[in-house]
Structure 1
């Protein structure tokens, strides 16, 4: 074993190498170590002396070089590879310097002449081999310096560069080999020219490799410096108010104030950047794959069409990423907003993306940053539109807090259903008789077909229970959370609609008093928007409820969204959300528990207890009584057989406040989620 797992560095390795450079005459500048360095270097003096003796011993034989190399490495096993190289070179330098000092002064000093004669007794003159030695020494020193520099960079900035440990091992081996070869040359021993040339070639290759590595590293460091400087520019421009919008737009869009912004749908509306100096401007940040996010794009386009008529906002699209000119032309051709010419697209996309991801939670999806007279008043107004619709306009600072304060207490179940489908939120004359039921997840029965049948049976039980109340309008839908569940929804939809048809028009005509409809919800963009809204609502209300002051409709909404997130985060768990859109009556619970309660209600109905069931006043209240008997708490969380759970927030959009456990109310640890298309 030639390297210990507990190998250590020498803090003064750099100082040692500077002294070695002076000794080997490869540095024209004399280096004088300070007191602390002298003390530390003194501690390794015996080791250097030992290496010096090992290097100079047995120089009369070229055989056994590999064994000597291994002995040297063994004696240095407790040091890191950079320290091994520095110490070995230091040991060699003492011999090298001694010989060449004598060689240099022997013509002037009689003692030196005699000493040189004694050292060369029985040996040939070094002759032209001195040039070979000097060449090897220069190359070895170059390698050592580059390794030390790379090691320092790697220790201080681990992410900057990655060097394979075998590079250090190989360099150490061949440097020691070259040192031993130089010792033979200095002592005047016969060394095959082929061997010398091969070692020179090997050392030269290693030297070139580390020079290349160092240049690569320095280039990367320079790029990182530029990125850091650009990042600091973004911090400055977004961190304070400016005299006008141009002060923000110029560095953000990387263009001058006379740059023209194009409006694809009407070239007559083209404007210059300086025309946006005052008023309100919206920057749409997104990836070039913006059309993938259909729901978000449709919201932005709807907003643009509304505001274009009154000129309240100018919308500019700023894509982040890489794209060719042809694709870009296609993308902007049908968008109702301003855009830059392709050659003027922002060049600091890496930095902007990094800043947006860290500060605003950007995750490729479109965001709407609002500027108002030189100030960023909201970094993602699209989330406001998703949550509040037209109530979010006009955008103001601290808009979310204001909206929750002004409208939170009057929020209804309908607020959760917005954007899912008009059939869920359309106001009927008899609004008290409207019910909406959403279900999702998996029961993970023996087969997918069994799951499909289970959900269809659940829907049938709900229809039968709802039939006890006159003129009920019950609308339901399955919400998927992944591709597998999208396929499941297609089958469930067919099964449920068949059940509705049979129960309404069959012989028994069970559905006499209830109008049941399975709503065809877009299982991709619309459902994704639903999940996004649920999480945003939960996060915002969790922040507002920091001191446990929420009550009424807002508290009900918080408990419900927490319940939805809880059940959707648990594997092998189906869930049900049911409520009356025009009230704050809503229940979220596990589908299995919900099914048991429906069975109990239907048994009571079949047993002649319809009046008792109706006495609760509504289907929701009847369900809640049965659910509470089975362990559902008033805050919509199952109390029996449950436990605290970990919730992973998608993205990183929450920059203030925190996230608390649904069950124990303790602050939860924030973790990242990397999710593929599945």
Structure 2
């Protein structure tokens, strides 16, 4: 029952089991022993699926670890496949139990019954045939559960054939990046701006299962089943040829196997898009070389949208953690609006990358006074805003573009001085 045979070998395995392993048992005993063996070995599989429950956002961690050890995680995470699988298997098992019950009842009948209604030879043949097919079905089901995990992975691989694939290669220390990237991915997908099938390839020397599972649950794209299946030679290739270190990279692959120029997440945060077919990574940094200065459109074009049916408003970004300063600043802005009759949108940008009590108090203050909108951390807009500035600045430095000679870099450096700082009164940026 625990053999690693293929479905095509089920007939041979059945004969070996009946004639070699259980040669001295009666046919009804052979069937009962096989059913008991099936219950012990594959009953565990059934219970595992009940405790795993992939539709549950917090599945049983012990069940997840057992599924991983048994290499069943691929099928466990496919709820529809499990539903169809157990519907069919349950019906088969019911039929087998019925056959087993009838064979045991036949065995209890007296010999006079067979002498009257049927020849002993014919009855023995029917019993042997029924037991054989019942054992055959049990072995087939057992083989099926082994092959389905491989099949689940293969189906996902087949779904990528002939597609443009974007490998997302990262360590496991990327929680904030993945949260923000998942939000951006959903936003781009809704607007039909995803040109690649994204696949996460996690690289890790040390694996913490709960952390890995938490990361994976955030991802709306394809994922490699587990970091442990990535061979050391593949990781060495990533490092030697694609310069992968701890910094997350994006590697576009075309259906013909051609590898395109490699992107870092700086490109993504700075542009607000995923790699586009035909666009070289360096094409995103022209604004630095042209040096027209920093515009608000460059910073928030994908983070804040205005009502296109209304006149374009003046957008004012502001931040800080001093509620008194925020009250004074927003009061002054409202006075200007009243006097000038200008349309102005106020947008509060969180400085911190975690929602603390100060930020919550500020959010409540903004909501209560109806002072526009705010970007909280869970929406990832604030995170992406600061990440965009950091990406522009670090990319400029790598290209030899410095604040002393470049106005855009100087503006970005000034804004970054407000990030996470509670010493200043606050950030104001008006377009």
TM-score normalised by length of structure 2: 0.50
Contact kept? 1:377, 1:397, Cα under 8 Å: yes
1:71-129 CA distances to partner (integer Å, 9 max, x unpaired)?
A: xxxxxxxxxxxxxxxxxxxxxxxxxxxxxxxxxxxxxxxxxxxxxxxxxxxxxxxxxxx
The aligned runs of 1:159-170 (5 Å cut-off) are none
Secondary structure at the counterpart of residue 377 of structure 2: coil
1:591-610 CA distances to partner (integer Å, 9 max, x unpaired)?
A: xxxxxxxxxxxxxxxxxxxx
For residue 565 of structure 1, report the CA deviation from its aligned partner.
1.5
The aligned runs of 1:510-549 (5 Å cut-off) are 516-522=371-377, 525-541=380-396, 543=399, 545=401
Distance (Å, rounded) in 2 between the aligned partners of 1:324 and 1:571: 35
Contact kept? 2:171, 2:202, Cα under 8 Å: yes
Match of 2:343 in 1: 472
Contact kept? 2:294, 2:412, Cα under 8 Å: no
Contact kept? 2:303, 2:381, Cα under 8 Å: yes
Distance (Å, rounded) in 2 between the aligned partners of 1:390 and 1:327: 27
Of 566, 580, 583 in structure 1, the residue corresponding to residue 417 of structure 2 is 566
For residue 318 of structure 1, report the CA deviation from its aligned partner.
0.8
Distance (Å, rounded) in 2 between the aligned partners of 1:547 and 1:561: 9
Contact kept? 1:438, 1:478, Cα under 8 Å: yes
Secondary structure at the counterpart of residue 369 of structure 1: strand
Change (3 A) 1:346 1:560: same
Distance (Å, rounded) in 2 between the aligned partners of 1:289 and 1:340: 16
1:490 aligns to 2:360 (yes or no): yes
Contact kept? 2:202, 2:226, Cα under 8 Å: no
Of 311, 333, 345 in structure 2, the residue corresponding to residue 430 of structure 1 is 311
1:602-625 CA distances to partner (integer Å, 9 max, x unpaired)?
A: xxxxxxxxxxxxxxxxxxxxxxxx
Contact kept? 2:183, 2:380, Cα under 8 Å: no
Give the alignment's Cα RMSD to 1 decimal.
Answer: 4.7
Contact kept? 2:402, 2:409, Cα under 8 Å: no
The aligned runs of 1:104-253 (5 Å cut-off) are none
The list of structure 1 runs, each at least 4 consecutive aligned residues, that deviate by more than 6 angstroms after superposition, is 262-266, 304-309, 324-331, 405-408
For residue 488 of structure 1, report the CA deviation from its aligned partner.
1.5
For residue 475 of structure 1, report the CA deviation from its aligned partner.
1.2
1:348 aligns to 2:232 (yes or no): yes
Contact kept? 2:184, 2:272, Cα under 8 Å: no
1:370 aligns to 2:252 (yes or no): yes
1:607-658 CA distances to partner (integer Å, 9 max, x unpaired)?
A: xxxxxxxxxxxxxxxxxxxxxxxxxxxxxxxxxxxxxxxxxxxxxxxxxxxx
1:393 aligns to 2:276 (yes or no): yes
Change (3 A) 1:333 1:578: closer
Match of 1:313 in 2: 196
Match of 2:427 in 1: 576
Contact kept? 1:378, 1:396, Cα under 8 Å: no
Change (3 A) 1:300 1:367: farther
* Bigger RCO (CA 8 Å, 6+ sep): 2
TM-score normalised by length of structure 1: 0.34
Change (3 A) 1:466 1:319: same
Secondary structure at the counterpart of residue 468 of structure 1: helix
Secondary structure at the counterpart of residue 574 of structure 1: coil
Match of 1:294 in 2: 179
Distance (Å, rounded) in 2 between the aligned partners of 1:338 and 1:482: 27
Change (3 A) 1:479 1:426: farther
Secondary structure at the counterpart of residue 471 of structure 1: coil
Distance (Å, rounded) in 2 between the aligned partners of 1:563 and 1:353: 39
1:181-221 CA distances to partner (integer Å, 9 max, x unpaired)?
A: xxxxxxxxxxxxxxxxxxxxxxxxxxxxxxxxxxxxxxxxx
Contact kept? 1:438, 1:576, Cα under 8 Å: yes
Distance (Å, rounded) in 1 between the aligned partners of 2:316 and 2:232: 48
Q: If you compute each CA radius of gyration, which structure gives the higher value, 1 or 2? A: 1
The aligned runs of 1:57-68 (5 Å cut-off) are none
Secondary structure at the counterpart of residue 282 of structure 1: strand
The aligned runs of 1:325-340 (5 Å cut-off) are 335-340=219-224
Change (3 A) 1:287 1:576: same
Of 275, 299, 304 in structure 2, the residue corresponding to residue 416 of structure 1 is 299
Change (3 A) 1:306 1:280: farther
For residue 533 of structure 1, report the CA deviation from its aligned partner.
0.4
How many residues are paired up?
Answer: 279
Contact kept? 2:239, 2:245, Cα under 8 Å: no
Distance (Å, rounded) in 2 between the aligned partners of 1:477 and 1:568: 13
Distance (Å, rounded) in 2 between the aligned partners of 1:326 and 1:565: 34
- Unmatched 5+ residue regions in structure 1? 1-261, 443-450, 502-515, 581-678
For residue 414 of structure 1, report the CA deviation from its aligned partner.
2.3
Match of 1:460 in 2: 331
Contact kept? 1:392, 1:399, Cα under 8 Å: no
The aligned runs of 1:63-82 (5 Å cut-off) are none
